[in-house]
Amino acid sequence: MKRELGIARCGLACCLCSENVECNGCGSNGCPGNDTCENKKCSVVKDLTHCYKCEENCKKGLLRKIKPYTFTLFAKKYGEEKLLDCLERNEKNGVVYHRDGINGDYDDFDDVEQLMNFILTGVR
């Protein structure tokens, strides 16, 4: 885990991403969607560092997908540090963020509450 990369604006875990080893997190030149990211554009316009700091409960851009949406809700409820702590603990216990391409253990859910509980406990 590269904790210093933290959580992307949209809620994805840059700290666990293995897709691009040269990427320095959300907004860096290594991020493939840096110039077109709807979540980045929206949060910049609103002068917010992350979607979880927004008052709205929207599903724009990557927030249409359950993983970034739930990570955003988790950070809203518990804070980014708690999210990072849980992700780090889960990784140490064998939970994989990217197992097959960009899909991993956090993608095996279709229910927000179940995924939220999985983040908290690391147990299905």
| pLDDT value at residue 18 | 79
Q: Count structural domains, the chain.
A: 1
Mean pLDDT of 65-76: 96
| pLDDT value at residue 27 | 67
Residue 58, domain extent: 3-121
| pLDDT value at residue 79 | 96
Please report how the helices 112-121 and 80-92 are oriented relative to each other, as an axis angle in degrees rounded to 10: 70
| pLDDT value at residue 33 | 73
Output b/e per residue, 78-108; b: 16+ Cβ within 10 A.
bebeebbebbeebbeeebebbeeeeebbbbe
Band (23; pLDDT cuts 50, 70, 90): confident
